[in-house]
Amino acid sequence: MNRILLVIALFYVCCTIACTKSSLYGPEQYAAQKKIDDSIVSNYIRSKGLEGKFKHVQNNDTIGVYYMVIDTGSTNTLFTSSTQVTVGDTASYINSNGTSETQFYETNIFHPTYTLSSVILGWQVGIPMGTAGGEIRLLIPSRYAYGHYAQPGLGLPENAILDFSIRIYSVTN
């Protein structure tokens, strides 16, 4: 009987902790982080003298991802959620005051292929701004990347704003 009560008490404590943790990040925190991210991205663009070079991705779902076409490529490209892209990319994250970045990976030695629907939202809306054979640069606020979840395996802090330079080698539908 004591074991059953102990298991029930333990279950209750675990559920309470889990519910408390998940409620720590709600709509108010999301809105506050959005303002912080947007300010950091604006400061970064300004501090690097890139005003007018980045465009804002705007569609029905997503505004906040910035892109710059570095090389237009030579092909008209159609993108869907099942599109596979083979890329070479360099990834950095921008520090909290928007003045510098830290590189956390690079795929110039090998060129991975991803299905567009399986990557972060920032890539899903940003990659279609480029073309096969082209190169783009994306500035992705944390809400379109990993959000408030740190990625220790990549060396990313929570709320990391990402900066990608992406060469699109091929696109397959």
Per residue in 26-64, pLDDT (tens digit) is 899 999 999 999 999 999 999 999 999 999 887 655 578
Query: Does residue 57 or residue 66 have the better pLDDT?
Result: 66
| pLDDT(22) > 60 | no
Give the pLDDT confidence score for residue 113 in this predicted structure.
97
Burial tier of 173 (Cβ tally within 10 Å: 0-12, 13-18, 19+): exposed
- Residue 155, C-beta contacts closer than 8 angstroms, at least 6 positions apart: 102, 104
List alpha helices for 48-157, DSSP H. Answer: 121-126
Higher pLDDT, residue 81 or 9: 81
Q: Is the pLDDT of residue 170 over 60?
A: yes
Supply 47's token pair.
Answer: 């501090």
Q: Is residue 24 scored above 50 in pLDDT?
A: yes
Cα–Cα separations (whole angstroms), residue 128 to 59, 68, 161? 12, 12, 20
What is d(CA 116, CA 129) in angstroms, rounded to the nearest whole number?
13
Task: Assess whether pLDDT exceeds 70 at residue 159.
Answer: yes
Torsion of CA 33, 158, 55, 131, to 10 degrees: -140
| Averaged pLDDT, 121-149 | 95
CB 111 within 8 A of CB 87: yes
pLDDT digits (tens, 9 = 90+) for 70-121: 999 887 788 999 999 999 999 999 988 887 788 888 987 889 999 999 999 9
CA dihedral sign, ordered 143, 144, 149, 150:
negative
CATH code given to domain 31-172: 3.10.50.40
Q: Is the pLDDT of residue 16 over 70?
A: no
3-state SS assignment for residue 147: coil
